[in-house]
Amino acid sequence: MTLPRWLLRFGFHLLYNQLAFVYDLAAWLVSFGQWAAWRRIATLFIRDGPILDMAHGTGGLAADLTAHGLAPVGLDLSPAMGRLASRRLRRQGMPVRLVRGRAQRLPFPKDAFGNVVVTFPADFILDPETLESVTRVLRPGGRLIIVALGYLQGSRFLRRLVTWAYRVTGQRDISEPDAIVRLTEAGFSACWQDATLEGASARLLVATRL
């Protein structure tokens, strides 16, 4: 049984806005310290070309990508997340390339990016408007890379706990086949992949714009 959708939306709204300052701590706690390693797995699938870090959150992935010599542009709707991400990047001496905007109306020109990366997104990512917007800004052959979930390393109890949390919060409301159908209808060739980096494993949805 999942929590009521209105309650979930309210809780996520608080976490991404008024309570954004506890986001990294919450992510670390629920993943038992593996969150950052999970998100870095996205780097295995990035192709040549500019990168959009969509829903950048506190800027962890933007910092990871910049440390790899890349120059991502981050986008997020939350002003609180924008401030936190900007502070993180400046503290590490990294350039700040952050834009505030909606995934459904990306404020970038057509074919602007070779990669759009999203880590642990809410259900907005498979919204038809979002996929239409991503298709517009991605170059032909460009990739949409979604880190959907992490595989918790540890005891069976911990793995069951995470599975329960996904179910309660509705993070698995959309089936994997349905996700492929939605992306195919939006003009992508897509597949689910498991990958491992730094001893951490995650499940990703990798889609190539046709």
Q: Which two tokens stand for residue 194?
A: 């498991």
For the entire predicted model, the pTM comes to: 0.84
pLDDT higher at 189 or 162:
189
Beta strand ranges found along the chain (DSSP E) = 51-54, 73-76, 98-100, 113-119, 138-151, 188-197, 200-209
Q: If DSSP codes are grouped into helix, strand and coil, which group holds residue 83? A: helix
- In whole angstroms, give the CA distance from residue 192 to residue 180: 8
Cβ proximity of 67 and 73 under 8 Å: no
Given this model, what pLDDT does residue 169 score? 44
pLDDT higher at 18 or 174:
174
- In whole angstroms, give the CA distance from residue 139 to residue 210: 9
Given this model, what pLDDT does residue 17 score? 57
- In whole angstroms, give the CA distance from residue 191 to residue 48: 20
- Note the pLDDT tens digit of each residue in 47-59: 999 999 999 999 9
Least confident segment among 35-39, 47-51, 69-73? 35-39
- Note the pLDDT tens digit of each residue in 128-161: 999 999 999 999 999 999 999 888 876 565 555 5
- Statement: residue 168 has pLDDT above 70: no
Contacts 24+ apart (CB under 8 A), 10-15: 12/122
Amino acid at 79: P
Cβ proximity of 103 and 55 under 8 Å: yes
- Statement: residue 65 has pLDDT above 50: yes
- Statement: residue 16 has pLDDT above 70: no
pLDDT more than 70, % of the chain = 76
Q: Which two tokens stand for residue 26?
A: 């919450």
Give every strand in the sheet of 200-209, ordered side by side. Answer: 98-100, 73-76, 51-54, 113-119, 138-151, 200-209, 188-197
